[in-house]
Structure 1
Amino acid sequence: MALADIAPALLEDWLRTRYFTAKTDISSSGMAPGSLAGLRQQVGLEWSELDALDFRDSPSQGGARLRHALAERFVPGAEDRVMVTNGSSEALFLTLAALIRQDDEVVVVRPAYQSLYSPAVALGARLRFWDLAPEDDFVPDLAALERVLTPRTKLVIVNFPHNPTGATLTPEQYREFTSLISRHGCYLLWDGAFGELTHGQDPLPDPSGELARCVSTGTLSKSYGLPGLRVGWCFAPAELLPEMVRVRDYLTLNVSPLNETVAAAAVEHADSLLAVQRARAGRGRNVLTRWAARHPGLVALPPPHGGVCAFPALRGVPDVTAMADRLAREHGVLVAPGECFGHDDRVRIGFGGDIEELDEGLRVLAEQAGPVR
């Protein structure tokens, strides 16, 4: 297979036009997008600082200020292992391009966002899946992961907290998981896009701080509510970064210094920004869980333990994708059909946006999905 044969990105195809025409968006996996004015006020970013910018290219791994801020927050002392990227999707792609060779065995959590595995398939990888079971509310089973690993496994790819289900590892599971990866000796690609937004437990540590063969990724698009800024990052082993830079030289070269300046201010004030977002996420989660409890005959909701998306099954709906299309066309309500994640009976619902919009979207969804039982 050639890279040009990469599979269509089902979620992006679904959202491509609907996202911009929807009146009520309850599909998104991140917080409601903030504004530059609001961010500047929250972090004290002055226009004079932006006006002083020189529009030279940033270094291939990112500017010093942002790399320092990221290392201080996630892996102290690891500034030389940070790469600033155009969203975490670029970090994921560069990692796979640097690591994967024809017939390499890759284990990936499932269900999964396609950026975690479709590039690997296009690069010639042989996939094995660590399935999160819907009958167990998608709770991760590490014994199941261990059964999937083989001596040929080169890379394990996971996303916790998980998209689309909101499942995550407990602290005890996290320690068992990193121990398992360490014993096996394979690489780990840890997608931590939702890592700083958890419910009922503290965020998990960044595993690249303890595992030598680990690439961890993060982004401002999810927990921070800054998707349009398109700033992500990764922490990678020193020996892998030159390979990632080599691939990047044919793609994006670097990240805009304007975006890096705004991003650095956000990361430097992350605690205050995230306090607001966590409170908003908690309110949205409460609205969603109360809605599901009112419609037990229609909705089976695995409780989300991190992030701001959930993956409920819709009982008795014969064609969930068709229903989701009708919701968008006739009512302006946007959900992501589970078909995009390999589960035709489910939808992804985001609860990080405006509470009134969430209430309205859920009301219409319940009405259109079937009679309340």
Structure 2
Amino acid sequence: MTTPLSLTLSQKVRNLKPSSTVVVSSRALALQRAGVDIISMAVGEPDFDTPPHVIAAAKAAMDAGKTRYTAVNGIPELREAIAAKLQRENGLTYSPDAVTVTSGGKQALFNALFALLDPGDEVLIPSPYWVSYPEMVSFAGGVPVAVPTTSESGYQLDVDAVRAAITPRTKLLMLNSPGNPTGAVFPESTLRELAALAQERDLLIITDEMYEHIVYDADQISIARFAPERTLTVNGASKAYAMTGWRIGYAAGPLALIQAMNAIQGQSTSNANSIAQWAAVAAVTDSDAFIERSRAAFRQRRDRIVAGLNALGLETPTPQGAFYVLTDTAPIHPDELEAARLILDEARVAVVPGTDFAAPGRVRLSYATSLEKIEEVLDRLKVLLDSR
């Protein structure tokens, strides 16, 4: 007789919370498959097709037989292209050896946190934050420490609040500008002060700049300009070049940290997809026209959804970047989880509750969708509000 398996998962896994974005998206997809007319505003994914020249580069790579393993840290051509991009667009100087290519930006962040954190090390994270940041920190053995911002300030970060949150266990400051879910873009003055604070208190900085090209009313500046020796810059191809499914991320920073991240990747996934890497060379090298067109479309969508939501009485700050809004749903329900449920079940619109973003009383909507769908969402929300 076979003995039943007694499966005990690790404490790390038992403590790990699933991404609320993924949970909501999965439920929305299940409803759509069941024939329910759902409009999803949950996923942070551009609705544009990957640019033709990027697809052509992938096809050329396949035709040339570039389908084998690559170096763990990425093909030299892509690392060289990324280093050139960082110099050209961000004013940052890195050798290709100080650049590593990963399977999406998440892996770059994971590799960095596992390379840097010992049990109990604290990581300061401005909130509201992307749902994965605290989970990643905890999974790596660290302790996430939220540094709150407010909607009244446009979710701008107060350097004095960061200073007050520092303890003897603080090791890292994680930044995300432009931010998900807030759309906040930190100005040069704030970044200079944070860089000086990191120098003063011997902190390391991880800056996630995945949305750097989706900025409307501000200048996107890399904090690594002011503290290059203690900053890891993380980015990727997903948002700027509409390449979410290609899974190409990258990081650039101090060589010793990059080498440690490469060692971790060498024992986990090894190299990122070889064909996607060759596609990313084309994307990083020549996509200015595509970026300008998509940014103009996102700006138009942002302006419409912000105006529409506020007109409905759902207070919504105007984001400076990315393609999300954080909306106060008190007129629907004071609890954001219940509000999100009502919006899905009654208005047939999928949104993400702000709970896991540390944004109580709010939901996140992604406006990476057409103006027609945005108008339909506003109409559905009006019907829901009129029924309250």
TM-score by length of 2: 0.87
Describe the SS at the equivalent of 2:126.
Answer: strand
Q: Write the deviation string for residues 159-201 of structure 1: whole angstroms up to 9, x where unpaired.
A: 1111101112112222222222222221111111112211112
CA contact (8 A) 1:94 1:247 kept: yes
Q: Which moved more, 1:346-355 or 1:123-132?
A: 123-132
| Matches of 1:353 and 1:255, distance apart in 2 | 28
Identical aligned residues as a percent: 23
Say whether 1:366 aligns with 2:375: no
Deviation at 1:140, TM superposition (A): 1.7
Equivalent residue number for residue 170 of structure 1: 187
Deviation at 1:249, TM superposition (A): 2.5
CA contact (8 A) 2:178 2:320 kept: yes
Say whether 1:120 aligns with 2:120: no
Say whether 1:142 aligns with 2:159: yes
Q: Write the deviation string for residues 103-140 of structure 1: whole angstroms up to 9, x where unpaired.
A: 11221111212322212213332332211123433222
Say whether 1:57 aligns with 2:72: no
| Matches of 2:358 and 2:60, distance apart in 1 | 49
1:5–1:265 Cα change, 3 Å: same
Q: Write the deviation string for residues 315-365 of structure 1: whole angstroms up to 9, x where unpaired.
A: 322243234234434554221121231334111111222111122122212
Q: Which moved more, 1:356-365 or 1:18-27?
A: 18-27
Unaligned runs of 5+ in 1: none
Say whether 1:270 aligns with 2:287: yes
CA contact (8 A) 2:54 2:279 kept: no
- Give the aligned residue type for 2:14: D
Unaligned runs of 5+ in 2: 1-9, 87-91
Equivalent residue number for residue 314 of structure 2: 299
1:207–1:2 Cα change, 3 Å: farther
1:138–1:19 Cα change, 3 Å: farther
Equivalent residue number for residue 12 of structure 1: 22
Equivalent residue number for residue 344 of structure 2: 328
Map residues 83-122 of structure 1 onto 2, 5 A cutoff.
Answer: 83-122=100-139
Say whether 1:219 aligns with 2:236: yes
Tell which has more relative contact order, 1 or 2 (C-alpha 8 A, sep 6+): 1
Describe the SS at the equivalent of 2:386.
Answer: coil
| Matches of 2:382 and 2:229, distance apart in 1 | 48
| Matches of 2:114 and 2:225, distance apart in 1 | 19
Describe the SS at the equivalent of 2:101.
Answer: strand
Q: Write the deviation string for residues 300-328 of structure 1: whole angstroms up to 9, x where unpaired.
A: 11110111111111232224323423443
Deviation at 1:69, TM superposition (A): 1.3
Say whether 1:82 aligns with 2:94: no
Deviation at 1:65, TM superposition (A): 1.3
1:353–1:206 Cα change, 3 Å: farther
TM-score by length of 1: 0.90
1:321–1:205 Cα change, 3 Å: same
Q: Which moved more, 1:335-344 or 1:180-189?
A: 335-344
Equivalent residue number for residue 355 of structure 2: 339
Deviation at 1:235, TM superposition (A): 0.9
- Pick from 186, 197, 202: which aligns with 1:180? 197
Equivalent residue number for residue 297 of structure 2: 280
| Matches of 2:84 and 2:77, distance apart in 1 | 11
Deviation at 1:43, TM superposition (A): 8.1
CA contact (8 A) 1:280 1:352 kept: no
Q: Write the deviation string for residues 261-311 of structure 1: whole angstroms up to 9, x where unpaired.
A: 11111111132221111111111111112213422xx21111101111111
Cα RMSD, aligned residues only? 2.4
| Matches of 2:317 and 2:361, distance apart in 1 | 13
Equivalent residue number for residue 152 of structure 1: 169
Number of matched residues?
Answer: 367
Describe the SS at the equivalent of 1:108.
Answer: strand
Deviation at 1:19, TM superposition (A): 4.4
| Matches of 2:359 and 2:29, distance apart in 1 | 21
CA contact (8 A) 1:2 1:123 kept: no
Describe the SS at the equivalent of 2:125.
Answer: strand
| Matches of 1:336 and 1:246, distance apart in 2 | 35
Q: Write the deviation string for residues 59-112 of structure 1: whole angstroms up to 9, x where unpaired.
A: 111111111111111134431111111110000111111111111122111121
Map residues 192-231 of structure 1 onto 2, 5 A cutoff.
Answer: 192-205=209-222, 207=224, 210-231=227-248
CA contact (8 A) 2:228 2:253 kept: no
- Give the aligned residue type for 2:131: Q
CA contact (8 A) 1:11 1:340 kept: no
Q: Which moved more, 1:317-326 or 1:189-198?
A: 317-326
Deviation at 1:208, TM superposition (A): 6.5
Q: Write the deviation string for residues 221-257 of structure 1: whole angstroms up to 9, x where unpaired.
A: 2232221111111113211123222222332111111
1:124–1:349 Cα change, 3 Å: same
1:6–1:262 Cα change, 3 Å: farther
CA contact (8 A) 2:154 2:319 kept: no
| Matches of 1:136 and 1:48, distance apart in 2 | 48
